[in-house]
Amino acid sequence: MNKQTTVRRIITTDLPVLVIVLFAMAPFAWMILTSLTPTATLNATGVALSPIGWSLDNYFRLIEQTSFLKNMLDSLIIACGTVVVGLIVSVTAAYAFSRFRFRGRKLLMLQFLLINMFPIVLLILPLFVLMRRSSLLDTHFGLILANATVAIPFAVWMLTSYIGAIPKSLDEAAMTDGCSRLTALRKVVLPLTMPGIISTGIYIFITAWNEYLYALTLGGRNVRPVTVAIQTLIGEYQIEWGLLAAGAVVGAMPATILFLLVQRRLIGGLTQGAVKG
């Protein structure tokens, strides 16, 4: 009976899951193999599957012949700036929504939810006009503000659930001891909400790092994040697939490493914030 149950589980669960995982990972594996194959070999025989034909030539060319390192620095500045702006606004807004009852509270929360229901492309034109009139077009700060428009609504909903689960009596006790409202927020609420803040910050960073549409429309010659820089590797008459794959691997590496390092905290924090309140 146990043998039949094991065989049935392998056939009905393990094998289908394995096929799905292989199907999902195959493009990434092929991209890595392409980046390790020299251009001459790639044009002659295709992707080299054996380690004998692998080389780091595409990565050296990516660093020496392009401005990819500067583009990665642009993406890092934009992603970190979006995290700072997004968390500052989201923490204070979430604290206000969870601690105060005022007219229009539910309507404002609903508006935060509705923003995420509209495609990002609808916001590009008004944001472009605002950035141009404010002289923020093609600047790091302009892209930080644009990415924050997407990050803040989700972060407010997440952190409102976290802070709402913290008893108000802790705030009241701190203010009874002489703390102001902001001091109680900083010394009492923030330490207890730190897992949710870290989870939300990681989500904002990964989203801002991988963002493409705002970077393409609101960026340009001075500020060019990684997602746009990879597109510039596509020539007018030919495509160097090895160089393009190397750029994709290097561009995805920071967000991938960050996710692998903190995946337990991220998944646990998102789940905890979703069920609280």
Domain shared by 98 and 222, yes or no? yes
Strand pairing partners for 239? 234
Which of the listed residues 34, 55, 76 is the one where a domain comes to its end? 55
* 60 within some domain: no
* pTM of structure: 0.82
Which of 197, 200, 168, 196 is closest to 184 using CA atoms?
Answer: 168
Residues spanned by the domain of 34: 2-55
Q: Which residues contact 244 (CB under 8 A, 6 or more apart)?
A: 230, 233, 234
* 71 within some domain: yes
* 12 within some domain: yes
- CA distance linking residue 160 with residue 157, whole number of Å: 5
116-120, 160-164, 209-213 — which one is most confidently predicted on average?
A: 209-213
Residue 85 has pLDDT above 90, yes or no: yes
Tokens representing 223?
């500020």
- CA distance linking residue 166 with residue 94, whole number of Å: 12
pLDDT tens for each residue of 237-258: 677 888 888 888 988 888 888 7
pLDDT tens for each residue of 122-177: 888 888 898 889 888 889 999 999 999 888 888 888 888 888 888 888 877 888 87
Domain shared by 41 and 178, yes or no? no
Dump the DSSP string for 146-191: HHHHHHHHHHHHHHHHHHHTS-HHHHHHHHHTT--HHHHIIIIIHH
Q: For the chain, how many structural domains are there in total?
A: 2
Q: What is the CATH number of the domain that holds 210?
A: 1.10.3720.10
What is the torsion angle, in degrees rounded to the nearest 10, for the CA atoms of residue 215, residue 251, residue 140 and residue 127? 20
